[in-house]
Each structure stands twice: as C-alpha cells, then as structure tokens.
Structure 1
Amino acid sequence: MSCDYIALATPGVQQLTPYVPGKPVEELGRELGVRDIVKLASNENPMGPGARVLAALDAVKPELSRYPDGNGFMLKQALAAKLNVQESGLTLGNGSNDVLELIARAYLQPGTEAVFSQYAFAVYPIVTQAVGATAIVTPAKNWGHDLEAMAAAITQNTRVIFIANPNNPTGTWFGVEPWEKFMGSVPEDVLVVLDEAYIEYVGTQGGVLNGLNYLQQFPNLIVTRTFSKAYGLAGLRVGYSVSHPQVANVLNRVRQPFNVDSFALAAATAVLSDTEYLQKSRLVNEQGMAQLIEGFATLGLDYIPSAGNFIVVHFQGDAGPIYRNLLREGVIVRPIANYGMPESLRVSIGLEPENQRFLQALERVL
C-alpha cells in the first residue's frame, strides 16, 4: 500500500486514539475462557430494562421498516412536560456523547479553545481535538473541578467549557454556591456545557445542583443528560440537551435527521414516566454504594466519595495487575490510567450479589 490514509485525515483526527470502553463480557469469555462473569465497568444500570420499556419496544417492532421520527416529537413533548422546559430548547442525540460532539462541531474550530478539568470525561478532549480546537485542561482540586481555576483559564479564544456534575470518572460534585459564582464570571459568548449524565442518581441529595434551574438566568448554558444510566437504556443510546432555543437551533442544523432510532425514542418516552423504576434504581445504587464502601474499609482501601453509580478505589502502586487478576476471577472493572489515575480502578455499582462477588475476588487478588 503506497498511500498513507492516516496522513490524509485532518490534523486533529490524526493525533486521536480511539475511545476504549469497558471490556464486554463476551470479549473476556473469548480471551480467557471465563464463564459466570460480573461486569462492573461501564456505569450501567444493573437492574435491566423495566416492564414499560419492554412493552414499548414490542409495540415498535411492526414499524421497523419505517424511518424513525427525525424530530423525536413524542419524546420531546414528554421531556418538556417532565422537566418544565421548552421543546424548542431540546436537542436529541444518540446518547449524550452525540450531543457533546454536536456542540464541538457547531462551536469549535482551529484557533478556538475548550476548557475542561483534569480527570474529566474522556469525550471532552476527543471532540475538541477532532475539530482542531485547543484543549485547555485545568488542574483538579480534590479529584474534582476547580471552578475558580476554570474561570481563570477563559481567554478571548474560549468558546466552550465542559463540566460534568457529578464527574466521571471520579464521582466528585459541587453545589450551588461555587456554581453560581462561576457562572457569574463567564462571558455570555462562552458556552458552558453542564454534563449531568448521573444527575438522576443523586436527585436532591448530596448538595448536587440541578442545572435546569439556571437556564433562564444564563442563556449560554447547555445542560446534557442521558437515558443510559439511571433509566437503564445504555444499549439503545439516547440522550439530549436543554439549552436556549437559538443554541438548540444551531445544534439541530448539524444533527443527523435520524440519529435516534425508533426503539430508543419509544423506550425513552416510556421510561420517563416510570417513577417506580427510577426510585428503585436509586435505592439499589445507594445500597450497593454502601456495600462497596464497607468492603473497602474492611480491606483497608481508600476511595473517592461518589455521587454517581460508580466509585473509584485507590491502591498502592499500579492498579493494572489488580485489574488483570480480577479479569481472571471473572470480574470486569474499569482501569483509569488513561485518565491519569494509574493507581486506581473505577467500579460500577451492581446488584448485591455482584458487588459481593467483586469484593470477594478483590480480597483474593490482594
């Protein structure tokens, strides 16, 4: 082959490395021949889909030869009613990752900057670099966002600031006072993306703010959310953003017309009204979090307090061997050396027997 097709790619894409998700159960089975596998790597809802979702999926099957509703009318209507927001401010995505990419494509380009924190979600640098913009990474504070440092990093070239609350992978969060001070210092021509992928797990607890409450006050705010976590639809990939209608108008100009499929639209609309499922998801998560924290204390391990459905645990030295030995035990967790945390592992909250299986395997490995 005489042509270098990587060299033909745009400069930003040439320097990218593909996003590496949590190891699939099937892959571990093929590699090591392990059976009876527990996956606690990808922050998924361990409960599985609810009855309303399954019924909604069955209802869609006869229409699979038809394109989905490109505007997502029914889901937008349900979201607007549930969240008390304008339908004109909604943008639907193939997961909230899709919306993050839409924001980058619409508002970032070479010569502009995006600000985000150390230990922040891996998609932020990916979408920034892919469009040729410059990433400004501010040092973390206690594993979380230092909003004062992020505000100080704003320059005349800054167009977008990415902030996750709670943050992935660390689970850290901030409350109302530092947030309001931060937003008051951000110029109105700088878009602030508040990534609330895990907000349903915390509700009104833990001092975590609700970004939707600030949309009227700050028209430069974009709140992104997903159905992949507490709502249990990770396999269907559906997320959304809420913003000023003008911003949504821009995002919908670059959004693909059928980026959310019929199954995802129907399932998301159904689960949005299933308050019992959401409450149970929160309860399972709270109990599982307490179970892991107690287990870490027994094993003498330090961890980062988390407001999400996952927790980061620290070890002495490189956590890579511990991760690989856990795989041999049939337990998949998430190494986070790619986030600059080589001595830690991120563990998703599972069902009680899954959490126990992990803790027992971890004790043997250690």
Structure 2
Amino acid sequence: MSDNILRKVIKEIEEYKPGKNPETKDVIKLASNENPFGPSPKALKAIEEEANNLQIYPNQKATRLRQALAKKFDVNQNQIIAGNGSDDIMQIIAATFLCPQEEVIFPEKTFSVYNLVAKIFEGKIAASALKENEISLKNIASAITDKTKIIFIANPNNPTGTIFTQNEFDDFLKMVPKKTLVVIDEAYAEFVESQDYPDTIKHVRDGKKNLIILRTFSKFYGLAGLRVGYGIASEELIAPMMKVKMPFNVSRLAQAGAAAALDDLLFLEKTYQNNVAGKKFLYESLDKLGLSYKKTESNFIFVDVKQNADALFLKLIGQKIIIRPLTSFGFSEAIRVSIGNAEQNKKLISAMRKVLG
C-alpha cells in the first residue's frame, strides 16, 4: 500500500489478538471469560421473536434498552449510551473527546483496547506502573499532567482480576482535574463478591461531570456474540457521544436480547453462584498443584505457572483445553483461566495435572 494513503499511526498499530476459538465441539474454551451457560433463556426467546423484524432498522438510540438500564441504575436514560460492545463506546469516547497528542493514561498491564484506541486517535500514551501486579490509583494520579485528557481503568482489572476499593476510588477522584476524563471499565462488575467494590455510578448520580462507567453484556449475561455494551455518565458527556456514534450501532437482536437478559434473574443467580463455587474449586485445585494465583473478583483467575506460558498453552491445546497465555499482556510465565462450569473446571485441572507432571 502506498505510504501516501496510509496514516502513519496505523503502521505502528498491532492487530488485536483475541483468545483462540475451538475448532471442534469437544474442545473446552476457557480463554475469553465467556459465560459457560451461554445466553439466558429469556434472551434467546426475545432474540427469536425479534428475528421476524430484521427487515426493519433497529431503534437508533436503543431506547428500550436504555430505559431498562436507567431503571436498574436509578439514572436518567439520557445518561446512558449503548454500543456495539463496550469497546465500541471506548472508540466513541476517544473520537468525541481526544485530540492528537493529548495524553491517555492506563495501567501498563491491562486490557489492550485502551492502547489501541489511544493510538488510532493519535493520543500520547502514558502507561502507569502496577504495584505488585495490581492497579495503583496513586501511581495513575501521579502520572497526570496538564495534557492528560483520558484515563482508562479496568475494575476488576483484566488480566489480574483484582479491584480497587471505594475509599481508594473516592480519594483518586479528588486528585483528578475536572478537564481530565476518567473512564472506568467494569466489564466484570457483576461477578464481584467484595463489599469494598466501589459504587462508581453513585458519583454520576451525584453530578460528577468527568466520569464515564462502562459495562457489557458479553460476560455475565452471556451475550458476547451479540456485541452489546453501554456507558453511564452525565448528560453533558453522553449528548456529544450520541452525535459521534454510528447510526444503528446496536442491532435489533442485540437490543432485544440484552433487555430481556436484564430480567432473567434465575439465570443471573445461577451464573453468579457457579462462579463462586468455581473459584473455590479452582483455588483448592491450584493449591494442590503448587501453583500461585491471584484471588479474583471476576470470572477468571490469573495463574503464575513458573514456565513459558505460550508453551503451556500449546500443551493444554493437546489436552483439548484452551486457556489464555498472558505473554501479550507482559506476563511471560502466567496464564488466565476462565471459570467454567463444574465439569469444565474438573477437566481443566485434570489436563493441567497431566501437562505439569
């Protein structure tokens, strides 16, 4: 391709590398933190019914879904934007607020889309160091300059599964200038057990003008294949983002399925309890294998395997188990293991026992 056509910044961007998908049905995928039960029955029913209307464009503003979310979180629907996954909203945020060479801060070992979005829109990246492989809000705050425009933080963090607390977050917000936008990515919030997990949306209700909370239907709700995410913020932030988003960016099926999934309380409780039980089983099993790991507040576990993670990944593929080696995150001897159902978890441990000797 001619150098005169391609933007210079695009040459420097690496393509996003997702977790490997299984090629046969007998392979267990525990790499991408998907719901082991699939989508909820209510979501499937709503999707099936909505399939009869695919000749009609979807609601441009995802009004029904936004109304349901507004009721759930006690905010105004004009404080919510829906997107084609939460990463779509990250791109909308950058397109709306980030000018070239303005600074974007995020932890050095975290979800790679923050880096991707910053590069696409020519932001100046300032990665913040982790503290003992956990996010340090103090380190992030100390990295802020008068050129800092956006801060992306995942809570729980991906791939470590750790969180920061309410007090830590409240103190952090006091250190952030009003002209700097704080984006909290809560993709795994529904799995959290800790009582210290911050109620970030409370700050939006209380009128915070430089805070955006992102959530998704991909993980807890089992709708990764539909691509539905949303952001919650002040109306002053959401209104310009609604101008920037592409028309009809959330499909009819996605809107219907997501709205129905919110009401499938039995399925959601089943998902939560499975995760609690799965963590307990995997902790005990990893202890017996002599492997160190991080206690998680998500549906995955960060495991230090003390050997080449990519090599272990290939060995587990041979056992028909797919996990996520964390080399691309900067951890050459660590893997991320999604918490599956009881049978999947047992097969994972059996496979690890074989390949670890």
- Quote how far apart the aligned CAs of 1:317 are: 2.9
Q: 1:209 aligns with which of 195, 198, 215?
A: 198
1:36 aligns with 2:26: yes
Q: 2:107 aligns with which of 93, 117, 120?
A: 117
Residue 359 of structure 1 corresponds to 349
Q: In structure 2, list runs of 5 or more residues that go unmatched.
A: none
Residue 224 of structure 1 corresponds to 214
Residues 192 and 221 of structure 1 are in contact (CA less than 8 Å); yes or no, is this contact kept in structure 2?
yes
- Quote how far apart the aligned CAs of 1:163 are: 0.7
1:267 aligns with 2:251: no
Residues 22 and 42 of structure 1 are in contact (CA less than 8 Å); yes or no, is this contact kept in structure 2?
yes
Matches of 1:122 and 1:6 in 2, distance apart? 26
Matches of 1:217 and 1:117 in 2, distance apart? 26
Matches of 1:347 and 1:198 in 2, distance apart? 14
Matches of 1:176 and 1:15 in 2, distance apart? 37
- Quote how far apart the aligned CAs of 1:56 are: 0.2
Residue 15 of structure 1 corresponds to 12
- Quote how far apart the aligned CAs of 1:233 are: 0.6
Deviations along 1:106-153, whole A, 9 cap, x unmatched?
111222000111211111000001111111001101212111111111
- Quote how far apart the aligned CAs of 1:202 are: 1.3
Residue 174 of structure 1 corresponds to 164
Matching residue's letter, 1:210? D
- Quote how far apart the aligned CAs of 1:81 are: 0.8
Residues 6 and 14 of structure 1 are in contact (CA less than 8 Å); yes or no, is this contact kept in structure 2?
no
- Quote how far apart the aligned CAs of 1:206 are: 4.5
Residues 207 and 234 of structure 2 are in contact (CA less than 8 Å); yes or no, is this contact kept in structure 1?
no
Residues 11 and 132 of structure 1 are in contact (CA less than 8 Å); yes or no, is this contact kept in structure 2?
no
SS in 1 for 2:253: helix
Question: Judging changes above 3 Å, is the alpha-carbon distance between structure 1 residues 345 and 206 closer, same or farther for their aligned structure 2 residues?
Answer: farther
Deviations along 1:319-347, whole A, 9 cap, x unmatched?
11111000011000001111100100000
Residues 171 and 308 of structure 1 are in contact (CA less than 8 Å); yes or no, is this contact kept in structure 2?
yes
1:196 aligns with 2:193: no
Residue 280 of structure 2 corresponds to 290
1:145 aligns with 2:161: no
Matches of 2:2 and 2:302 in 1, distance apart? 39
Aligned residues: 355
Deviations along 1:46-87, whole A, 9 cap, x unmatched?
011121111101111110111111111110111111111111
What is the TM-score with the length of structure 2 in the denominator?
0.97
RMSD of equivalent CA atoms: 1.2
- Quote how far apart the aligned CAs of 1:211 are: 1.2
Matching residue's letter, 2:10? V
Question: Judging changes above 3 Å, is the alpha-carbon distance between structure 1 residues 324 and 222 closer, same or farther for their aligned structure 2 residues?
Answer: same
Q: What is the percent sequence identity of the aligned residues?
A: 38
SS in 1 for 2:332: coil
Deviations along 1:202-236, whole A, 9 cap, x unmatched?
16x35211211111252111000001111111110
Matches of 2:28 and 2:151 in 1, distance apart? 36
Residue 331 of structure 2 corresponds to 341
SS in 2 for 1:25: coil
Matches of 1:172 and 1:335 in 2, distance apart? 18
Matches of 1:169 and 1:7 in 2, distance apart? 38
Matches of 1:214 and 1:308 in 2, distance apart? 23
Q: 2:239 aligns with which of 234, 249, 270?
A: 249
Residues 186 and 213 of structure 2 are in contact (CA less than 8 Å); yes or no, is this contact kept in structure 1?
yes
Matching residue's letter, 1:282? Y
SS in 2 for 1:8: coil
